Amino acid sequence: MKKTKAEAGETIQLLLQTGKQHFAKYGYAKTALEDIVKDSGLTRGALYHHFKNKEGLFFAVIESIQKQIAQNIEQQASKSSDQWEQLSLGCRAFITSAIEPDHKQIILIDGPVVIGWNRWRQLDANHSMRLLYNQLEQMQKNGCFLSLSVESLTHSLSGAMNESALWIAEKGSFDSIDEAMRVLDVYFEGLKQTN
Let me know: does 63 contact 120? Beta carbons within 8 Å: no
Instruction: Return the pLDDT at 127.
Output: 95
Indicate the angle between helix axes 54-77 and 128-141, nearest 10 degrees.
30
Number of domains in the chain: 1
Let me know: does 19 contact 36? Beta carbons within 8 Å: yes
- Give the CATH number of the domain where residue 100 resides: 1.10.357.10
Does the pTM exceed 0.85?
Answer: yes
Q: Is residue 10 part of a domain?
A: no
Instruction: Report the 10 Å Cβ neighbour count for 168.
Output: 22
**pLDDT per residue rounded down to tens, the chain (195 residues):** 456 777 888 999 999 999 999 999 999 999 999 999 999 999 899 999 999 999 999 999 999 999 999 999 999 999 999 999 999 999 999 999 999 988 989 999 999 999 999 999 999 999 999 999 999 999 999 999 877 899 999 999 999 999 999 999 888 777 899 999 999 999 999 888 766
Q: Is residue 47 part of a domain?
A: no
Length of the chain: 195
Q: Is residue 7 part of a domain?
A: no
Q: Is residue 21 part of a domain?
A: no
Instruction: Return the pLDDT at 3.
Output: 63
Handedness of CA 138, 140, 145, 148 (dihedral sign): positive
Q: Is residue 3 part of a domain?
A: no
Q: Is residue 2 part of a domain?
A: no
What is the span of the domain harbouring residue 155? 61-193
What are 188-193's contacts with CB under 8 Å, separation 24+? 188/84, 188/87, 188/88, 191/144, 191/145, 191/148, 191/153, 192/84, 192/144, 192/145
Instruction: Return the pLDDT at 53.
Output: 94
Q: Is residue 44 part of a domain?
A: no
d(CA 10, CA 181): 38
